[in-house]
Structure 1
């Protein structure tokens, strides 16, 4: 865990909301892939960052897994009803956005056509499981957010720096895949 994360004093409060992301595996050729998205540049907390498709719980969602599926369908255009849920990973509190985020693992039996929502997604990156498991992607880099530069552990995937909550989720995914 990043020492920067330990310095954050933010804690969940009455305004903390729940959210979910989808880590979706699918076959393509002889490999298994998962999509990561690049958020568009904007003034918000997560502008320009790599992430998994996901977002906040809405009243219409019957459970947290439904949130992950709905958000992935809205953001990258997958057919949510075709995704088989595998399991949830560890829910994570994300102080900058004041959200509890539930990572949900799912499997789609085919490579989807992606239809990214351009308001929420600047790009979709198809990442192989072997890329995720490659130890050389683990690095320390300088990132900037809200005008502050700092060094943080991260993953460098397809020349993109993946850090923060998304990196923590990938770290847990790596442990699950190794078991």
Structure 2
């Protein structure tokens, strides 16, 4: 795919109306009192369609060792979720915000850990090699557009979590187990891309 084809497909996907997603889509309603702290994650695509993902450091408080889009909670200095996603991507993988063309946002995804996570779709301008921030990111890698965009790559699995069985989406890629909120957000994107 060319950069223009990737951008065009992402822009068309953003125009498809959909509802917000949630870690509770497969597991009932959120428990009473669960907050929804605002956060932003950056789905940054290279010109050839490869998506930048990270493997979070194992010592982190939230989602240790999981595969994730760069991002995090909105800080007081952030104007909004887009600003948070750009700041966090710069901190986590060294992606300069000046190198990012923001295309738009998907509806927020509510996580089981109490975040309202807004996915920001973007294109990376020019060459970029991720530099993982050691305290937050164990590894940065890319996944081809064809994997991300194919709803058939996603499936549902279950595991015991805090005494209850929970179902969740997965989209494994090679040695990387993409699951949970990241897989659900990417499945929402794949669904829009195939509409």
Question: TM-score by structure 1 length?
Answer: 0.83
Q: Which has the higher strand share?
A: 1
RMSD of aligned alpha carbons: 2.6
Counting only pairs closer than 5 Å after superposition, residues 111-150 of structure 1 correspond to structure 2 as: 111-135=127-151, 137-141=153-157
For 1:36 and 1:147, locate their aligned partners in 2 and report how far apart those are by CA, in whole Å.
30
For 1:12 and 1:82, locate their aligned partners in 2 and report how far apart those are by CA, in whole Å.
39
Tell me what 1:19 maps to: 39
Counting only pairs closer than 5 Å after superposition, residues 1-179 of structure 1 correspond to structure 2 as: 5-7=26-28, 9-11=30-32, 16-27=36-47, 31-42=48-59, 44-96=61-113, 98-135=114-151, 137-141=153-157, 152-179=168-195
Q: 1:93 to 1:140 in 2, by over 3 A?
A: closer
Unaligned runs of 5+ residues in structure 2 are 1-21
Q: Is 1:83–1:107's contact at 8 Å kept on the other side of the alignment? A: yes
Q: Is 1:85–1:104's contact at 8 Å kept on the other side of the alignment? A: yes
Q: Could you list the per-position Cα deviations for residues 63-89 of structure 1 after superposition, in whole angstroms to 9, with x for gaps in the alignment?
A: 221111001000000111221110100
Question: TM-score by structure 2 length?
Answer: 0.77
Q: 1:159 to 1:109 in 2, by over 3 A?
A: same
**Alpha-carbon distance, 1:146 to partner:** 6.8
Deviates more, 1:144-153 or 1:102-111: 144-153
- Give the secondary structure class of the aligned counterpart of 1:159: coil
